[in-house]
Structure 1
């Protein structure tokens, strides 16, 4: 009998993160539900278990060193290794009318807060979990990004007509750049790492403004989390394929 694979999804108590956890669970993975809020985390674990998923809660604030260290210790005790890490937790930061972050009036502290979660939080969690990932025969890391991170699309008015998000969009571009650096460092190993855009998904993250369901948004992340050996790494994907940087 093959050994059950283990996944950890950050920000998994709701929305896309929850559906990634549910989807991996449906494939037979044991899934750690990483989330800050205890009530929401345990509610999500209960819902997943009721659906037949082998889920367990992982208290996790990606912006806190102690929280991440304790999460590593919990995963170590519970399962002893990781096969998949999905860095889904993220924030958009405050915005003005029309979901706009105007670069000409942007508060630098807002940028720092967004980057702390969306970039530094990913680095913090990834590096802390690496010893557990290295125990896997086929480690996979998925960083949840956004198409607004694409400089190619953002610079072309014919391909991007969405609002200016001068803190959130660059934070995801930064995340993509970091993903490429990890891929370079992991070259020649079994670790595959990619970034993914879930599309415009209707969740409370964007006031339920979107054309896609969380299940649809989770699909490509699940595919990247379950790539076969020799699959792509250091790339940026959406449902239709590779997104230009």
Structure 2
């Protein structure tokens, strides 16, 4: 059975992605910083008929937590087929460039950027044991420098010194990682699930978690001819079109 690890998966888009992957026959490791909360979520899913979902404790900002999660998956599966780096935080608001503290910016980057790198590097050897390894870095349209420079963009007025830049950095890392792995069967992409109504944004988004998760899975469960090192957004009308960086 193919396996997937989703970080930050005990609620919202991550949780829905876990549910949809489970329905497709994957063994899903539902990553949660708080193991008790993760296990509670899994018990609820099992009651609803979902199968092959296991809670796993993983705090992407803590190396020992990442290492422990890796050891568990290696012992139980011997490999990992899919890594979805979904864990992320918004940080304090507002995030003005002139006075947002370095501490607040660093806190966001620790999860959204450095956390992704730490998890990816820790699981890379397990992913290399898969026939079709996939790494999906969950990003945001707010990480697009091209769109942020376009005054006609519908989200042009949403600027921040921490969250958006952390996703811009994540996008850049995705390109470098995909290039490094291009001669292996990896597909590594940045995926924006779109402006989704979740606790993350006080349910101000217009998209559903079902649509967001479906979009993530569409660009994760790809064949050998699919692109790698690209940026896909659920907020673009033509969802097959590659998003501007």
TM, length-normalised to structure 1 = 0.94
Aligned equivalent of 2:187: 192
**2:56 paired with 1:58:** yes
Aligned equivalent of 2:82: 84
Question: By how many angstroms is 1:45 displaced?
Answer: 1.4
Aligned equivalent of 1:182: 177
Deviations 1:183-218 (Å, cap 9, x if unpaired)? 110011101100011111111111111111111111
**2:25 paired with 1:28:** yes
What are the ranges of 5 or more consecutive residues in structure 1 without an aligned counterpart?
none
Q: Choose which of 9, 12, 22 in structure 1 pairs with 2:9.
A: 12
Question: By how many angstroms is 1:227 displaced?
Answer: 0.6
Aligned 1:209-228 pairs, distance under 5 A: 209-228=204-223
Deviations 1:127-181 (Å, cap 9, x if unpaired)? 1001110110000000000001111100111013342221100000000000000
The 10-residue stretch of structure 1 (231-240 or 145-154) with the greater mean CA deviation from structure 2: 231-240
Aligned equivalent of 1:149: 143
Aligned 1:42-121 pairs, distance under 5 A: 42-50=39-47, 51-96=49-94, 101-121=95-115
Aligned length: 238
Question: By how many angstroms is 1:43 displaced?
Answer: 1.9
CA contact 2:82–2:135 (8 Å) conserved in 1: yes
Aligned equivalent of 1:238: 233
Aligned equivalent of 2:117: 123
Partners of 1:128 and 1:39 lie apart in 2 by: 23
Deviations 1:103-122 (Å, cap 9, x if unpaired)? 11110111111111001100
Aligned equivalent of 1:204: 199
The 10-residue stretch of structure 1 (33-42 or 123-132) with the greater mean CA deviation from structure 2: 33-42
Partners of 1:132 and 1:49 lie apart in 2 by: 27
- Deviating above 6 A after TM superposition, structure 1's stretches of 4 or more consecutive aligned residues are none
CA contact 1:48–1:54 (8 Å) conserved in 2: no
CA contact 2:147–2:156 (8 Å) conserved in 1: no
Question: By how many angstroms is 1:48 displaced?
Answer: 2.8
TM, length-normalised to structure 2 = 0.94
Over the residues paired in the alignment, what is the CA RMSD in angstroms?
1.1
What are the ranges of 5 or more consecutive residues in structure 2 without an aligned counterpart?
none
The 10-residue stretch of structure 1 (152-161 or 43-52) with the greater mean CA deviation from structure 2: 43-52
